[in-house]
Structure 1
Amino acid sequence: MRKRYLITFGIVLFILVIDQVIKFWIKTSFAFDDPSVPLIGEWLQLNFVENQGMAFGTQLGGGMWGKLTLSIFRVVMIGAIIYYILKQIKKPDVKLEFLIVSAMVLAGAAGNLFDSMFYDFIFRDYFDPCISYNQVEGSGIFSECSYFGYTEMVEVRHRGFLFGNVVDMFQFNVIWPSWVPWLGGGQVFPAIWNVADFAISCGMILVLLRQKIYFPKEKTSKE
């Protein structure tokens, strides 16, 4: 059982470290308006953005309450996932692969939550109210921005614990062929993502594909 604990939470720590190291590097090395940097040919690029939402920029409402609700939801879900994993580890017939997959989902959720919890404190000097991802209509918090000599007041997001933006950086640059109906010429997957998003997605996909292996039905004896 000790081996299961070490492997499961070792994978969580490993993914978290990779996720945060890349985010710190992106945050301190790139600017919002920097051009995309090719990683693997032209189809995988670095494109620094920040968002207030979930995986791939999905948001839960808008403004302060949407962000706060999302962050609290993350905390509750992470607690539930940890509780579930601890229960599964104690089962004698649990598959190690399932524990690894669960660890991927937990690490991904925790990685994005870390951004929301602490990045507004760690990167205080990087907050720029004139950048679009720091502006939230209806927040009630105003800041002065100057554009080419023209000054205007803009509404900016709340800052602090649980309000930080999530840092994203990877983007697939793959275009649908022009002959594909409705989609031709558009990007196959336009969302920009990070290691945490990737871990969550891979974990959930594996659970769906291998659920019969992870959750085998108990054979009932015929009377």
Structure 2
Amino acid sequence: MKIPRIAFAAYGFALLIIVLDQLTKAWILSLPDVASIKQIPVGYVFAEVFPPVLRFTFVQNTGVSFGLFGGGEARWGLTIFSVLVSGALAWWATRADRRLLITAIGLVIGGALGNVIDRVRFGYVVDFIDVSGTGVFPWVFNVADSAITIGVVLLIIDSFLSDRASKA
């Protein structure tokens, strides 16, 4: 099977998100002077970046994006599900022909696999971007979660745009 060039753009976006996600998590976990991640208490505030709007706070997310379905029991189920979805999206990228769709697919793949790496390594996803001080968005998240969210929004936008184009 020959993979179209445009599909490699999706894979490139995915790789970029995985690298950014893992680098930001490695950076944030290196801030406290501890020998092990297990010594960092949940809720530990690494930094008040722009109080009270933006803080870096350590959260062990055992669920999916933004802590949904947490509890830890579903670690391997969520891992397998994320890998299967990423595989399906990677296949979809070989069929896609629109740049917005390719970008969206790449963001979702990268975000999903970035969080899979954490689930395998730690048993939970490392979340740290905390904007709960705004009173609008109570969850703590990470780069991977952001990529998934933006990717899904782009998928919806692409769906509307491609539907309009096909009716024109």
Contact 1:207/1:214 (<8 A) preserved: no
Amino acid of the residue matched to residue 80 of structure 2? I
Contact 2:53/2:132 (<8 A) preserved: yes
1:133-172 equivalences in 2 (<5 Å):
164-172=123-131
Secondary structure in structure 2 of the residue aligned to 1:53: coil
Distance in 2, matches of 1:63 and 1:172, equals 24
Distance in 2, matches of 1:100 and 1:116, equals 25
Contact 2:31/2:46 (<8 A) preserved: no
Amino acid of the residue matched to residue 125 of structure 2? V
Contact 1:15/1:108 (<8 A) preserved: yes
Q: CA deviation at 1:79?
A: 1.4
Q: Does 1:39 align with 2:49?
A: yes
Which of 200, 207, 217 in structure 1 is aligned with 2:148? 200
RMSD across aligned positions (CA): 2.2
Q: Which has the larger radius of gyration?
A: 1
Contact 2:132/2:140 (<8 A) preserved: no
Give the TM-score of the pair, scaled to structure 1: 0.63
Distance in 1, matches of 2:103 and 2:146, equals 14
Contact 2:107/2:148 (<8 A) preserved: yes
For 1:12, the equivalent position in structure 2 comes to 14
Give the TM-score of the pair, scaled to structure 2: 0.81
1:88-107 equivalences in 2 (<5 Å):
88=96, 94-107=97-110
Contact 2:100/2:158 (<8 A) preserved: no
Contact 2:100/2:154 (<8 A) preserved: no
Q: CA deviation at 1:25?
A: 1.7
Secondary structure in structure 2 of the residue aligned to 1:38: strand
User: Which 4+ stretches in 1 moved above 4 angstroms?
Assistant: none
Choose between structure 1 and 2: higher helix proportion. Answer: 2
For structure 1, list consecutive stretches of 5 or more residues without a partner in the other structure: 89-93, 121-163, 176-186
For 2:95, the equivalent position in structure 1 comes to 87
Distance in 2, matches of 1:40 and 1:14, equals 26
For 2:75, the equivalent position in structure 1 comes to 67
Q: CA deviation at 1:217?
A: 6.0
Distance in 2, matches of 1:70 and 1:6, equals 26
Which of 23, 26, 29 in structure 2 is aligned with 1:27? 29
Amino acid of the residue matched to residue 107 of structure 1? G
Amino acid of the residue matched to residue 101 of structure 1? A
Q: Is 48-57 or 209-218 further displaced after alignment?
A: 209-218
Distance in 1, matches of 2:108 and 2:148, equals 4
Distance in 2, matches of 1:18 and 1:198, equals 11
Q: Does 1:112 align with 2:112?
A: no
Higher RCO (CA < 8 A, seq sep 6+): 2
Distance in 2, matches of 1:46 and 1:167, equals 11
Distance in 1, matches of 2:72 and 2:13, equals 34
Q: CA deviation at 1:41?
A: 4.7
